[in-house]
Amino acid sequence: MRAFIFPGQGSQKVGMGAELAAASEAARDVFGEVDEALKQKLSVLMREGPEEELTLTENAQAAIMANAIATVRVLERDFGVSVFEAANCVAGHSLGEYTALASIGAFSLADAARLLKLRGQAMQAAVPVGEGTMAVLLGADIDQARALAAAAAQGEVCEVANDNDPSQVVLSGHTAAIERAVALTKEHGIKRGMILNVSAPFHSSLMAPAAERMAEALSQTPPAALALPLYANVTAAPVTDAEEERALLVEQVTGRVRWRESVLAMRAGGVEHFVELGGKVVGPMVGRIDREAQVTSLVTMQDLEAFAKQVLG
């Protein structure tokens, strides 16, 4: 069995998608459709920068999705391999869950772009700049991270935001609490803690105002039927019901990204091959979660051609 997986924020970089756009009309069509949906030349920003503008949450989320869906469309139109033929299920890391839904037709490309633009704006607006942040813990498992978060909170928010793999957990919350957590890492047997260069405390309870805005938006633009099972971030379990997934997307804004558990659940469900489209971020995490899993990253035309030959024989 094979899972198609999609990256989250942090995988953006200037020049993303440029090679695909130069080589494929399918990719150019995707970027043009996203530009039109957003009434913004996002494709130019992706290709030329500046980096600081591309990194803004409201731009990065839609850009990462657009790049991954362009990869999907090139695989389908140029190499004759559809998601439905090649994958048994899909999953995405944080915003990548929207990409996964778009890849199986549960969201149109335009709707996914507009929802992610709003999601980025809502998350940024939820907490005043400087009041919240995130930190990555290296050499920490989930139990160590939870204990550290509890010790550092001291009446403020300090929560596990991302359980990425057995050696990497991300905390989110009030800036002072996150700084205390980083200072306490050694006492909790954790190798290292680093404050992340992010503009808000994503996937924490501080994002409640953003969750309310997304609940309203998703009530107006709900996902359609899911043609393949999707492993949801907040439950690490397969979802096939569109209404259930709508609720989980709202919960995801404040909830933990259970990526490690999701990969283990997919493995338990029979997935042997994980294919990351549009990045090389979540694939390496899979390799750290289960060394026996086969992992492929599809970024370039050469990557896509080689994968198509493998699938089509």
Q: What is the pLDDT of residues 275-298, one digit of tens each?
A: 999 999 999 999 999 999 999 999
Tell whether 238 and 256 lie within a shared domain.
yes
CA distance 211 to 205: 9
User: Same domain for 118 and 26?
Assistant: yes
Of 179, 198, 217, the one marking the end of a domain is 198
The arithmetic mean of pLDDT across residues 18-34, rounded, is 97
pTM, two decimals, is 0.97
- The CA distance from 232 to 230, in Å, is 6
pLDDT of the residue at 197: 82
Q: Which of 101-105, 163-167, 197-201 has the lowest mean pLDDT?
A: 197-201
- Please indicate, yes or no, whether residues 22 and 168 belong to a single structural domain of this protein: no
Q: Are residues 175 and 265 in the same domain?
A: no
* Together in a domain, 189 and 218: no
> 145, 167, 198 — which closes off a domain?
198
At residue 199, the pLDDT reads: 80
pLDDT at position 11 over 90: no
Residues 6, 102 within the same domain: yes
Q: Are residues 32 and 115 in the same domain?
A: yes
Q: Where are the alpha helices (DSSP H) in the chain?
A: 18-23, 25-38, 42-48, 51-54, 57-77, 83-86, 96-103, 109-126, 142-153, 175-183, 208-220, 242-254, 259-268, 282-289, 301-312
Give the pLDDT of residue 10.
Answer: 81
On whether both 21 and 112 belong to a single domain, the answer is yes
- 112 and 165 both lie in a single domain: no
Q: In which band, very low, low, confident or very high, does the pLDDT at 202 lie, cut at 50, 70 and 90?
A: very high
Residues 255 and 308 in one domain: yes
Type of residue at 73: R
CATH of the domain at 187: 3.30.70.250
Q: Write out pLDDT tens, residues 235-268.
A: 999 999 999 999 999 999 999 999 999 999 999 9
Structure tokens at 13: 């970089």
Q: Are residues 54 and 34 in the same domain?
A: yes
115-148 pLDDT, tens digit each? 999 999 999 999 998 899 999 999 999 999 999 9
Instruction: Write down the mean pLDDT value for the chain.
Output: 96
Q: What is the pLDDT of residue 224?
A: 98
Reference 69, options 6, 114, 131; nearest CA is: 6
**pLDDT, position 313:** 79
Same domain, 215 and 104: yes
Query: What is the extent of the structural domain holding 162?
Result: 132-198
Give me the CATH number covering residue 306.
3.40.366.10
Mean pLDDT throughout 52-62?
A: 92
Q: Which residues are part of the catalytic machinery?
A: 94, 203
How would you classify residue 229: left for phi > 0, otherwise alpha for psi between -120 and 50, otherwise beta?
beta
DSSP state for residue 241 in the 8-state scheme: -
pLDDT bin (cut points 50, 70, 90) of residue 192 is very high
Q: Please determine, for residue 169, whether its predicted confidence score (pLDDT) is greater than 90.
A: yes
Q: Domains in the chain: how many in total?
A: 2
- Of 198, 224, 245, the position where a domain reaches its end is 198
For residues 235 and 252, what is the distance between their CA atoms, to the nearest angstrom?
9
